[in-house]
Structure 1
Amino acid sequence: MTKEEIPMESNNDQQIQREARRLYDNREELAARICDIIRKDGTLQPLPGLHLSRTSIPLKRVHSVVESSVAVIAQGSKEVWLGENRYRYDPFHYLLTTVELPRVSQVLEASLARPYLALRLELAPALVSSVMVEAALSLPTAWTDVRAMDVSPVDGNLLDAFVRLVRLLDAPAEVPALMPLLTREIIARLLMGKQGPRLRHLVMERGYTPHIATAVKRLRQDFDQPLRIEQLAQELGMSLSGFHHHFKAVTAMSPLQFQKRLRLQEARRLMLSEDLDAAGAASRVGYQDASHFNREYKSLFGTPPMRDVQRLREEALTFSDH
């Protein structure tokens, strides 16, 4: 090793240490700010498109629908299932979702001393497209299928942008001017990062992903109606086999599985929030056969409808007393 090489290695080590310290400080600040903003377990939307979450105990699996968004954890860890695919992320990784999808998620690490703390920022396709144009980023050239969800490491610049976004909650007067700029910066950094190609497919006009996004929107709007896959494929200009292939490649589910999850999740919500019985909920979401509904409900959630709802209500009471 020459004398000239020693300072260069030393500088590299110092730079690595500074970056590690910066990441650590930003994670600590993000956790502290979320903890101050949301004092009790639950979720909060303090700004349009910005969702904060806190929980003090590991949670059982939760069924939900998530829109195009990026999620960052400040403290704790979480797993998400999309079809049979599992994604785990933590303070060192972010989760990107590019199509509105039904998913199953579970908070794994959380305690009273160190609660799970996270944020999620919605990503509007029109805004992503606008940032791409401004940054002169090209669309993917291949007409490929891209899975609508994945996890990647959080780099220092991306995490720093999220911290500055959350700081705005202490300065409401600055929100109108700075939140759009920070949101665009986050999108730009995502586009230039490891998951840039995945995010670009969200606005790719020539590829199949926007067609599938259109199909997803239609299925969400008409989930209680009979599924006419051939008609939907024809409207999108796709063959039936091609539509099935590309739909599953992006969403990790067949169209029928996708619709079934939407129906069963909505039925569960109706029984919990509107106090419907199983037959009433089944009818509202498009099931004609109550026994068929009961079988599919148990297959997804593990227990029959009314027993499941009773358990959820008991858990909610226990949690509120906690």
Structure 2
Amino acid sequence: MTDLDQLKAIVLRHAGKPQPNMPRVSVSTFDRPSEPGWLVYDPVVCFVLQGSKQVFIGDQVLECGAGHCMVVAAELAAMGQISEASSEEPYVALNLYIDPEVISALLLEMGSAPVPPMDKGFGFSPAGPALIEAWRRLAELLDRPSEIPVMASHREHELMFRLLMGQQGALLRQIAGTDSRLSHIRRAMAWIREHYKEHLSIEAMATVAGMSLSVFHRRFKAINGLSPLQYQKQIRLHEARRRLISQRSEAASVAYAVGYESVSQFSREYKRLFGAPPRQDAGKLQRMVDPGP
């Protein structure tokens, strides 16, 4: 049995179970391919153990198969789908949501090192033997919960160290840097999410980021794959979809609630993003969640 197989066996034992003692660790499993769905990633490291998924960020497509680690360094709007999964061989992934303080502490111990230029807020690469071993050692604690209070931080530091030494190290270094380009863009992204209902100008966003207009627009799109206004639009539409499904509200009231002034514009942009008009799309998702008798 390979190290990857050993790790997969551990992870499958805990699939579908909450991990209250390790809240930033989660297991994802799917027993069939999925339809494309939109989501907003939090900063996370995802290690695919079996199967495959596609992630669409802007005009880029990532195909993440077994043995690949994906690092997302900012709160990116993306579309994803499980592309390879079956009941015999389900899609399996282990996720760890990133704590910038862990990275900062490691960098202090590692000493200064040049940070390569970073032009994206995401990346993926194959995991080598040392990284797979670090993931396995962290996952083993799921079988030994009594050890988590003492050992979890050590195992997480080991895993992050291996990632910092690998191909995605530049991404992780940017997360820790309070004066990095990424931190400035993330500050603007947080401000956009907080004020998504309002009419926001690029000038105001650039001011929040502390950048000139041209530099802000270029770096924002490089990191996100979307322009600042496209990012705001997707946040609005994701929130509208959530309200349509959870509150069963009318499309017009939801459109106004998320900041649209025109219901027809809202419907056009909603259909362009999700593939169906608001009410039709929400009805389909509600039936999937609650199919009835």
Letter in 2 for 1:281: V
1:246 aligns with 2:219: yes
Show structure 1 runs of 5+ residues with no match. 1-23
Deviation digits for residues 143-194 of structure 1 (CA, Å, limit 9, x no counterpart):
x442001110111111111112121111111111111111111111111111
Letter in 1 for 2:71: L
The aligned counterpart of 2:5 is 28
Deviation digits for residues 87-135 of structure 1 (CA, Å, limit 9, x no counterpart):
1111121101111111111001111111111111011222211111112
The aligned counterpart of 1:287 is 260
Number of aligned residue pairs:
292
The aligned counterpart of 1:20 is none
- Cα pair 1:146 1:201 within 8 Å, conserved: no
Letter in 1 for 2:94: L
Counterparts of 1:153 and 1:237 in 2: how far apart (Å)? 35
Counterparts of 1:312 and 1:173 in 2: how far apart (Å)? 40
Show structure 2 runs of 5+ residues with no match. none
> Among 139, 154, 157, which residue is 1:166 paired with?
139
Counterparts of 2:209 and 2:286 in 1: how far apart (Å)? 42
Counterparts of 1:215 and 1:314 in 2: how far apart (Å)? 37
Letter in 2 for 1:244: H
CA shift in 2, pair 1:44/1:275, >3 Å: farther
The aligned counterpart of 2:187 is 214
The aligned counterpart of 2:70 is 95
- Cα pair 2:245 2:282 within 8 Å, conserved: yes
CA shift in 2, pair 1:278/1:173, >3 Å: same
- Cα pair 2:69 2:127 within 8 Å, conserved: yes
CA shift in 2, pair 1:121/1:27, >3 Å: same
Q: What's the RMSD between the two structures over aligned residues?
A: 1.9
Q: CA deviation at 1:247?
A: 0.7
Residues 56-135 of structure 1: pairs in structure 2 closer than 5 A: 56-135=31-110
Counterparts of 1:94 and 1:236 in 2: how far apart (Å)? 29
Counterparts of 2:270 and 2:151 in 1: how far apart (Å)? 45
Letter in 2 for 1:31: K
CA shift in 2, pair 1:57/1:100, >3 Å: same
State the SS of the aligned residue for 1:201: helix
> Among 213, 231, 250, which residue is 2:204 paired with?
231
Counterparts of 1:297 and 1:126 in 2: how far apart (Å)? 37
Deviation digits for residues 179-223 of structure 1 (CA, Å, limit 9, x no counterpart):
111111111111111111222122334442211011111112221
- Cα pair 1:58 1:110 within 8 Å, conserved: yes
State the SS of the aligned residue for 1:108: strand
Counterparts of 1:137 and 1:172 in 2: how far apart (Å)? 35
State the SS of the aligned residue for 2:53: strand
The aligned counterpart of 1:177 is 150
State the SS of the aligned residue for 1:53: strand
Q: CA deviation at 1:30?
A: 2.2
Counterparts of 2:142 and 2:81 in 1: how far apart (Å)? 27
Please say which structure displays the higher CA radius of gyration.
1
Counterparts of 1:34 and 1:274 in 2: how far apart (Å)? 35
Residues 8-19 of structure 1: pairs in structure 2 closer than 5 A: none
The percentage of counterpart residues that share the same residue type is 35
Return the TM-score normalized by structure 2.
0.93
State the SS of the aligned residue for 2:207: helix
Q: CA deviation at 1:69?
A: 1.1
The aligned counterpart of 2:15 is 38
